Chains A and B, each alone.
Chain A
Amino acid sequence: MSMSDWEQLQHILNCPVRVEELLLSDHPAMAGLEAGTVVEDQSESLAIITAVDDGTIQMLNVGRGNLNETEKALIAWSVARYALKQAEEIHDADGGSEAERSARAIGEWIVKQSLAGGSEPLPSSLSQDGRLYAEMIPFLLETEQTAEASAFGELQKLLDSFLDEDVIVIPLKGQEWLVLAPLALVRDTLEDRDEQAETLEESLASIGSGLQEMLASEWIGECHLAVGRPMKPVKSVVQSVTLLRETIELGRIFELGANIHLPWNMHLERLLANIPEVVRYRYVEQALGRADVFMETETLSTLDTFFALDCNVSETAKKLFIHRNTLLYRLDKLKQETGLDVRVFRDAVLMKIILLLYKFTKRA
């Protein structure tokens, strides 16, 4: 039973609740008892077994207080149900379904290949009856919390329901999942010949954003998602995972506050990330003469917004909720401090590169 569970119970019952662990060797009489069994019922406390494993017994000790018989029975019943649910989840994780075993085998192969830097095609035995020969859209999901044992089934069900398509879920590491969705998801975009229609990248970005928001609010909480261009998994799954993993890694550094990251928006960042750290430091110092210009979050957010809006002064001021003159004042101040006028293309390019190098140096 987790800390928050019994803290909640303590709050509901309004009496002290604690969890204790006993060695079976010290209490041989308890061998064979099941979760939910009341082992002690005295006037001050009530002790109920919550879990039994090879060598230990976990017990919930509830201050008896004003509990009546019904409440006591209800607590014992809840503990027994809780233990049963935990056992089922562990069983699911150990055995899992055929689909899960197959997905885990693919995941293990991908992890091995990417660690070894390999780029071999997926063995046909892992191609999921040929499904992975078709072009698919790759999504890489990184969660902040470690998923529970039953996560595979939950995620598969959730994605099937959300995308209404046949989706392949592949667990990679503890908090990392690869999701392969059929190309049909962007069918509208691919078939639309209208010049005003969404591009493939716009379409993938909006599906990625919707998917990330749905997963955050309906499943796992905080998570990051990268989406790639369609590819044939049998040929390119390892390269695709490597690219998406790098995209999330860079996105966490360069796109603070964003949870959806797109490889086609990260070309410059990928290039700069390959520059050795010493060279990066030296360059920032030489270019600016000092490295503390960006220390103020106001300067950082002003420049980020200004570049994101293609150096448009009016739009930037509107987005930052400041007067145009205030923005011009900030840009003039920056020019005085750095010698770079970001309203001039050459200086803007230089400032953008310095800004990215600075972020990489500070946050990596």
Chain B
Amino acid sequence: MAGVRLEHVYKKYPGSDLASVKDINLDIKDKEFLVLVGPSGCGKSTTLRMIAGLEEISEGKLFIGDRLVNDVAPKDRDIAMVFQSYALYPHMNVYQNMAFGLKLRKFKKADIDKRVREAAKILDIEHLLDRKPKALSGGQRQRVALGRAIVREPQVFLMDEPLSNLDAKLRGQMRAEISKLTKRLETTTIYVTHDQIEAMTMGDRIVVMKDGIIQQTDTPEVLYNHPKNLFVAGFMGAPAMNFIAGTLADQGGALRFKSSGVDVAVPEGKAKLLREKGYANKEVILGVRPEDLHEEPVFLEASPDTIVTAHVDVAENLGHEMYLHLNGIGTQTVIARIDGRAGVMNGTNVKLALDMNKVHLFDKESELNIFEN
């Protein structure tokens, strides 16, 4: 097994002045499960394809283990790939599909057989080994594609949205299986997805990308609780973080965040830091996660200084929890996630307290998180 290191990697396509991927620096540790996440067109697949050797690196260096592999052919990089549009070899049965890469590498028949059968057992497809791909379901085909990668026992697995062709139920199941599998095989894995739930649940670390640039690299917990900028804050989490533009008013020694329908006190510790950084009486953007808006009487009593009143446009009851789509907090719709038994109805007004210890404040110009930079 091996780590992967990208040093100042750029990708520029011929005829374009702009780089699709800019100055990527990543040190992926041996056995790590790293997820590249971001909206479509952010450069995550291009980055993965450069690691795979399917795209040339325009600038910078790529190391797999200690080996510089910029000009090494994909077949010689000791990696195995599973892509969204994985194409099984239709004229071969499952066994032959999994064995082909090993056959090319001149493995002994007995070794090939051992590896294929072991991988088939791990993936629970032993009973399918004689079948041709067209006789398999979507989930079974996906397992075969994974099996083809596993038998190679590569230094690195590269996966590009491998689950996006599966239905929601199967995706959830395969997500857990891939996580289990990579932990068991202890293989370094780089996984691309646009789905932040996949990213949060699978990655040891997550790289959030936008416009070809890395926005933040960290563990799921840190990305969720300490986003460095507005983009990362908005991208990680579903429903997404609410953003309210407003002003930090300095009133009699205390800082208050004010916006349309909002006038809440900023806790002392945060206020001190904001003052030091010169944000008193400045415009900022407040970010609050849906679960940090509370309707419980205990919370309302304990936080009289952070209460807002809002109109419930839609109350979506999912049973165990409820999403309230609210109007009257700032100028845009705000979503609150509350207990499913709260019994809040459409069209009513509701009082909610903001957990000001957990909110984030962003610089209006740079969009950087004031507390994290």
Contacts and interface: CB of A to CB of B under 8 A. Distances in A.
A317 B73 CA distance: 38
B340 interface: no
Interface string A13-54: 000000000000000000000000000000000000000000
Contacts of B30: none
Nearest to A5: B71
A206 B90 contact: yes
A298 to B, nearest CB: 8
A12 interface: yes
B53 A221 contact: yes
A210 B71 contact: no
B68 A220 contact: no
Interface stretch (B100-108, B278-286, B357-365): B100-108
Contact of B56 (A144, A164, A210): A144
Given A221-B73, A221-B74, A301-B40, A216 B68 contact: no
B90 A4 contact: no
Interface residues of B, number: 35
B172 to A, nearest CB: 14
B167 to A, nearest CB: 9
A321 interface: yes
B67 interface: yes
Contacts of A88: none
Contact of A210 (B66, B67, B90): B90
B320 interface: no
Majority SS of interface residues in chain A? helix
Nearest to A3: B71
A149 to B, nearest CB: 15
A297 B41 contact: yes
B256 interface: no
Interface stretch (A71-79, A155-163, A306-314, A329-337): A155-163
Nearest to A165: B91
A8 B67 contact: yes
B55 interface: yes
B142 interface: no
B87 A321 contact: no
A213 B86 contact: yes
B54 A222 contact: yes
Contacts of A222: 49, 54-56
Nearest to B105: A218
A209 B85 CA distance: 9
Contacts of A207: 90-91
A203 B132 CA distance: 13
Interface string A334-348: 000000000000000
B131 interface: no
Interface of B: 40-41, 49, 52-56, 63, 66-68, 70-75, 81, 83, 85-91, 100-101, 103-104, 133-134, 194-195
22 contacts: A4-B70, A8-B67, A8-B68, A11-B66, A11-B67, A145-B56, A203-B90, A206-B133, A207-B90, A209-B85, A210-B87, A210-B89, A210-B91, A212-B87, A213-B86, A217-B74, A218-B75, A218-B101, A221-B54, A221-B73, A260-B87, A321-B194
